[in-house]
Structure 1
């Protein structure tokens, strides 16, 4: 089996495992009330990432590298695996933290808004974003460059599988960390875990409908694989609690944006005047009166 095929198998196993736990715990049935509009967006974006964005980034960087920088191909091939893994953490996960944080600015918010428009948490919405959000994600292109420079394919599989397992777990409707907080003997370990990787408690807070309940933190908790970046850069908010409501207030007021507007903006525009998905539209601010 080729490296890329093995990578996809491992990620599929992680998705299936968390999905099964969502159903076994009945958290999916109780909390995920998705519409047909949600289903189209969740599914089509997932397909676009797997079939278009990631392969394209690797293909283009490999082609450009061979055409213009052939002398550098394989320059890092003799590095130990742990050094390769560390470079991937910096080149992919740290830059994704920064990209995610920047995507909460007015300029880039329309490309990330789809991820927050889901009114539920589940593995099914982990990849939910605008199509161009992924095409422009620095980490995908940096990973392609690192592979050209000789980062081992199997090291990349190990890295990406680990990262995706953590991210899927952070979005999962089954809150795997919740029972662990109740075990007193595990308290020191969980203190370390919740400050190192993204957990349901910290990432659900990022998807909260509001920050006013003391739990939500949609203006922080940006970490994807490593929550450590939030701790280091001062955007962490840890409560070990979960927000009651998920999603965007303007969608609750006006109804969902069409999946095509969410996925393909700026090629497709919303007709809502106060929508971030149209030129001249406004971004909802919960601190301003409706």
Structure 2
């Protein structure tokens, strides 16, 4: 049984999840759930973000796990293998997602980090493709995958694989344009389920708000809703807004379609768009869309 669980989550974290999300992405496209703003430039960003890391990361992670970890953590391989599966899952889920909450929040607060994270927010639409849409340098430097690999090395392999798989499914579902949480708000008898779920994990309604082009409509909240797998961090730290509605527009208010290669490989390549944060000599943050202004009051509307 353990071998079966291990096999399922190993495949899920390698080829299984990308294939599953590729199928969901095709469904989204066929049903017209992406809007007309998904042009060739946007398609290239999404394609490169999906494909290139899967070619670059395996050798990087192999070197990290086989060469660096034995040097950085000598004699510690398998040291936590005695931890029961359940408690391993709890510890890893909290540690991994809480650190990513603060990592994500800092990428909105620190202008230099925002320029890396900006690529993830530039998409003028939502869908599973946006889940993968990231600057490659940012992924190589700041990916949580390194933490998962370290935990596997320390002997928490099964719990780490389980949490990584579940987190990927929840976060990708929160990015999807398939609004699976909508029935929970439509049917009154499901409202108690919605109340608990939307405060515990990220849903399309709460995470789409984070990708909104504006917060002026009372729905979008790009200055909060930082939770990745768990939305409860936003509740605890006062950065959450729950409206059970979806933004009318997504992206960045001043986005002028920076070239895909600049968004994917900044700072190795710079944007030719004047006044872009990614252009040579451009501002770290355009003041008409200041990401450092963080909301601290939880606003809940049902």
TM over 0.5: yes
Counterparts of residues 22-171 of structure 1 (less than 5 Å)? 22=28, 26-28=31-33, 31=35, 33-53=37-57, 56-57=60-61, 59-104=63-108, 105-137=110-142, 139-152=144-157, 154-171=158-175
Give the structure 2 partner of residue 264 of structure 1. Answer: 265
Question: Does the CA contact (< 8 Å) of 1:171 and 1:204 recur in 2?
Answer: yes
Matched, 1:217 2:218: no
Tell me the TM-score normalised to structure 2 length: 0.85
Report if the CA contact (8 A) 2:210-2:221 is conserved: yes
Residues 182 and 58 (structure 1), Cα distance of their counterparts in 2 relative to 1, 3 Å cut: farther
After TM superposition, the structure 1 stretch with the greater mean CA deviation from structure 2, 44-53 or 173-182, is 44-53
Distance 1:58 1:159 in 2: 20
Compared CA separation, residues 32 and 186, structure 1 to 2 (3 A): farther
CA shift in 2, pair 1:49/1:96, >3 Å: farther
Query: Which residue matches 1:8?
Result: 14
- How do 1:247-286 residues align onto structure 2 when only pairs under 5 Å count? 247-251=251-255, 255-282=256-283, 283-286=285-288
Shift of 1:14: 3.7
Q: Secondary structure at the match of 2:281?
A: coil
Distance of 2:85 and 2:55 partners within structure 1: 27
Q: Which runs of 5+ in 1 are unaligned?
A: none
Q: CA deviation at 1:134?
A: 1.2
2:42–2:123 contact (8 Å) kept in structure 1: yes
| Alpha-carbon shift at residue 276 of structure 1 (Å) | 0.8
Question: Equivalents in 2 of 1:97, 1:49: separation in Å?
Answer: 22
CA 58–85 in structure 1, closer or farther in 2 if over 3 Å, else same: farther
Change (3 A) 1:98 1:218: same
Q: Which string of whole-angstrom CA distances, capped at 9 and with x for unpartnered residues, describes residues 102-153 of structure 1?
A: 111312111011111111001112110111221222622222221111112x
The two structures have a TM-score, normalised by structure 1, of: 0.88
Aligned-residue CA RMSD (Å): 2.3
- Which residue does the alignment assign to 2:297? none
> Which segment drifts farther, 274-283 or 95-104?
274-283
Q: What is the alpha-carbon distance in structure 2 between the residues aligned to residue 268 and residue 180 of structure 1?
A: 44
Unaligned residue ranges in structure 2 (runs of 5+): 1-6, 291-302
Determine the C-alpha separation between the residues in 1 that align with 2:36 and 2:227. 23
Q: Which moved more, 1:174-183 or 1:198-207?
A: 174-183
**How far has the Cα of 1:48 moved from its partner?**
3.0
CA distance in 2, matches of 1:54, 1:65: 15
Contact residue 9 and residue 162 of structure 2 kept, 8 A: no
